[in-house]
Amino acid sequence: MTKELEPFPGLVNQHFDASLQQQPNDFNAEQQQWFERIKQQTAHNAEFELDDFDFIPECKREGGLLKAQKLFGKELAHIVQELNGYLIA
């Protein structure tokens, strides 16, 4: 039996949707927009790093790393690491 390969962005979207269903959604709309930006970056580059907040135009335009730290606090690095794990698994 041969499995057809699915484009990576499609897999990232599936994993993102599945992770949202598994996790309690205690995030506000602005935080969820940041998750969308992280997902998009991951779909195109296979991962997201904290430095990307200041290098990706969509993130930088919205306040970059400082804004993300303000929104997510001390948990930011853990959240990014966890999202990477879900999205590229």
User: pTM surpassing 0.85?
Assistant: no
- pLDDT at residue 75 in the model: 93
User: Which of 86, 59, 87, 73 is CA-nearest to residue 28?
Assistant: 73
Beta strands in 1-89 (DSSP E): none
Give the residue extent of every domain in the chain: 8-20+28-88
- pLDDT at residue 6 in the model: 64
* Three-state DSSP state, 43: helix
- pLDDT at residue 61 in the model: 95
Give tens-digit pLDDT for 24-77. 667 888 998 998 898 888 888 888 999 999 999 999 999 999 999 999 999 999
Q: What DSSP designation does 6 have?
A: P
Structure tokens at 58: 């969509």
Q: What DSSP designation does 63 have?
A: T
Residue with the bigger pLDDT between 45 and 19: it is 45
Q: What DSSP designation does 85 have?
A: H
Is 20 a residue whose pLDDT tops 70? no
* Three-state DSSP state, 53: helix
Residue with the bigger pLDDT between 5 and 26: it is 26
- Tell me the C-alpha distance between 58 and 55, whole Å: 9
